[in-house]
Amino acid sequence: MNLSAYALQYRQDLYQRLIPFWLEFGIDPVYGGYFCVISSKGEVCTSDKWIEWHAKQAWAFGKLYQQSSDAQYLKCASQGADFLLQYGMDAKENWWAVVDCMGHGVSEVIDTKAEAAAVSCWSVLYQITQEEIYAESAKKTLTKAFRKREKRLQKRADDLMSGRYLKNISELSALAKALVSAKQIIGEKIFKEKAEQLFQELMKHFWEPRADILLENVFSEGGYSDCLEGRHIHPGRVFEAFNAFYELTKITNKRRIRQQLAQHVAYLAETTWDEAYGGYFGWLDVKSLPPTQPEAYYKYAWVQLEATTALLRAYQVLNDRTLLKHWQRANDYMWQHFADNSKEGEWVGVLSRHGEPLFGMKATPEKSAFYPVKNLLESADLLEILQDINTP
């Protein structure tokens, strides 16, 4: 298997078809930041701006600049990072989830994912520019994000009359990614302390020992909830968690956790693949009950992208060639169904179970350049490493 050829394909599609779309249609030249809802033809469908979306997009272009040193990528990354500095928070430093085109607040955040994404974004911009404003903002925001989340979860756990509240593993993954990004900024002591906190929550709260699986939604204090959301097995969120925690386990030498997560990725690669039509399901029920929402059967581009990266990393950990076969299967499905050959480029975001595109939007509040850029870059690097290892 010529893994280098796949790495070349990943990079070529990224730079020749995907990124040009965002540079042409995604930047707001008047008010700053990015447009977040764009049609397949590049039409802006709303001028509202999602803050977490901006942070992820800016991080993606920062990573592109680090790999290529192309000035247009740094300019695009700064466009989002500086918009966050100016408009991401209100006067009391409460974060917005959505602002209007000029940066006026529309709705507030309900978790810390926007803050975590901003930390990752500013950390990358600091690595590139060495501008202290990015380092100071990242450090302060990360500290506050951990503190705010602890208070929120404790309040939910203490107030039994406030209704059922489940926390989602995606927030934990975002914090893990932010912590790795900000390692050089926050110092060794704080880094180790926060890393241990995240590992404890991952393995004590989200890991279900009876089924030996990672749950998507659990109670504030941890533990399985026998409700529709609590029973979700979400392969995309698990692949994403493994990718987010992979570097953290390497830095902190948590080999056992890394191996346990890799084995779970291998298990999900077998059990959540749609044998009839291909692709990983949106989610399944832990009790094998039928899903109550059609979205469970949809095939999302970001899930397949996270899967390809996770499978390559799991192969590095376990050295099980079955994982390369799973990667090949996911890779072939992904390129057959999601890469868009239209003149505008970019990727299809969502398919029906049978593989038909469900709608033509290229940017939505859930879809930006983040997942393609992150995973195509990381997968290309992994493929080249594995090619060197496997070449006699």
Per-residue pLDDT of 371-387, as tens digits, reads 999 999 999 999 999 98
| Tally of domains within the chain | 1
**239: closest CA among 210, 267, 205?**
267
Whether residue 276 has pLDDT greater than 80: yes
Strand partners, 311: none
Query: If you average pLDDT over residues 288-308, what whole number do you get?
Result: 95
- Look up the CATH number of the domain holding residue 375: 1.50.10.10
Query: If you average pLDDT over residues 84-98, what whole number do you get?
Result: 96
- Rounded to 5 degrees, φ, ψ at 351 are -120, 155
The percentage of the chain sitting over the pLDDT mark of 70, rounded to a whole number, equals 99
Token pair of 170 as six digits: 């995606």
Query: If you average pLDDT over residues 69-83, what whole number do you get?
Result: 97
- The alpha carbon torsion through 175, 300, 261, 290 (nearest 10 deg) reads 120
Whether residue 269 has pLDDT greater than 50: yes
Residue-level pLDDT at 392? 45
Task: Report the sign of the C-alpha dihedral through residues 196, 262, 2, 11, in that order.
Answer: negative
Query: If you average pLDDT over residues 321-331, what whole number do you get?
Result: 97
Query: If you average pLDDT over residues 285-305, what whole number do you get?
Result: 94
Domain extent, residue 269, equals 3-390
Whether residue 162 has pLDDT greater than 80: no
pLDDT band at 391 (very low <50, low <70, confident <90, very high): low
This prediction's pTM:
0.95
Could you read off the pLDDT of 111-121 as tens digits, one per residue?
999 999 999 99
Whether residue 212 has pLDDT greater than 70: yes
Could you read off the pLDDT of 190-209 as tens digits, one per residue?
999 999 999 999 999 999 99
